[in-house]
Amino acid sequence: MKDQFVTKKILKWYDLNKRSLPWRKNVASQKRQYYTFVSEFMLQQTQVATVIPYFNKFIKEIPNLKELASVNNKKLIKLWEGLGYYARARNLKKAAQSIIKNFNGEIPDSFDDLKSLPGIGDYTANAILAIAFNKPYIPLDGNVERILKRYLYLKKENEIQKENLIEKKSILGFSNRSSDYAQALMEFGALICKHNDPMCCKCPIIKKCKSFKKKDFNLTKNSKKHKNKYFILKVYKKDQKYLLIKNTKFNFLKNLRIFPMEELHKPKKFNKDLNIKMSNMNMNIKILNLKNNKKFPSSYWIDQRKLNIYMLPTFTKKVVKYLERN
């Protein structure tokens, strides 16, 4: 039998310290599955505190899977506005439609079936299986990875790779309270085994933590880098209005409002005005202010004084802020 030291200690800590989160409400199983489904999409690359108000509003407006599958795209993006990574919202709806069509309207409880849905990778599938269905899976997010790295003192480049961490996570054990345990690990990493200034004085597994024994809590950074991309962004302005177009050209920010842009491939010289990091891209942007000498549909002209009423991606808002400062 595997050592249950970590499992028991972390669960005991969780029972005393868990946060009250809206997707953890004690509700009927089908509603709990839906709450988990929506929250896990929202929590991809986004912190808990940011997600909470969006989740509450989303659930109020779209309370079940059937309504999600048929929701108007404009309403969906409006509810998501400010969370960023809008592909998540589109994939969430597509996944709901697939569940209605292929799984009789019930969120599947098998790893392969979940992975077949748009927007769901290994981590999200593991999280849904553990949290919504109480199955013995451990989702490996940044918080859980950090626990493993410190507990086992993993420092070398090959040791901190995802493949190795997946192999090592069995040290964390399993519990018949799989739903609670998955959340407990993520909670513990977020609140105690933090990236900066870990709270070792409150750590229940400190006795066996190799990083504590060595008094070395620094984490080795993964050498993965953002890929440099270069763009010319065109600004047309008239009567306090900016020209924005519906993006059908780039895979990122698909179908959302952006400034007209062109990508340059490995330019020899490039004097950037703005740098924005998005997903795995390091976007170097040169801004050209152009005269309004083209004819565009009037609907594309957005009043800069009323930007908050439009459904704009965070990327576009950042560009507007730059333009207002310069």
The Cβ-side half-sphere exposure at 146, using a 13 Å CA radius, reads: 20
Name which of 166, 169, 125, 164 is nearest 151 in CA terms: 169
Decide: residue 135, CB within 10 A, 0-12 exposed, 13-18 middle, 19+ buried: middle
In this prediction the pTM is 0.74
pLDDT digits (tens, 9 = 90+) for 159-200: 888 889 999 999 999 999 999 999 999 999 999 999 999 999
Long-range contacts of 184-187, Cβ-Cβ distance < 8 Å, separation of 24 or more: 184/10, 184/11, 184/13, 184/14, 184/18, 185/10, 185/138, 185/143, 185/144, 185/147, 186/139, 186/141, 186/143, 186/144, 187/14, 187/17, 187/18, 187/19, 187/143
Domains along the chain? 5-214 (1.10.340.30), 227-325 (3.90.79.10)
* The residue to which tokens 């986004």 are assigned: 46
Residue 155 CB contacts under 8 Å (≥ 6 apart), including other chains: 149, 220
φ and ψ of 281, to 5 deg: -105, 140
Task: List beta partners, residue 275.
Answer: 284
- Answer whether 115's CB lies under 8 Å from 108's CB: no
pLDDT digits (tens, 9 = 90+) for 95-143: 999 999 999 999 999 999 999 999 999 999 999 999 999 999 999 999 9
Structure tokens belonging to residue 324:
């207002």
pLDDT tens digit at each of 326 positions of the chain: 456 899 999 999 999 999 999 999 988 999 999 999 999 999 998 889 999 999 999 999 999 999 999 999 999 989 998 888 888 999 999 999 999 999 999 999 999 999 999 999 999 999 999 999 999 999 999 999 999 999 999 998 888 888 899 999 999 999 999 999 999 999 999 999 999 999 999 999 999 999 999 999 888 876 666 789 999 999 998 888 889 988 888 888 877 889 999 999 888 888 999 999 887 788 999 999 988 767 766 668 888 777 777 778 889 989 988 998 88
* The residue to which tokens 């200034």 are assigned: 197
Catalytic residues: 40
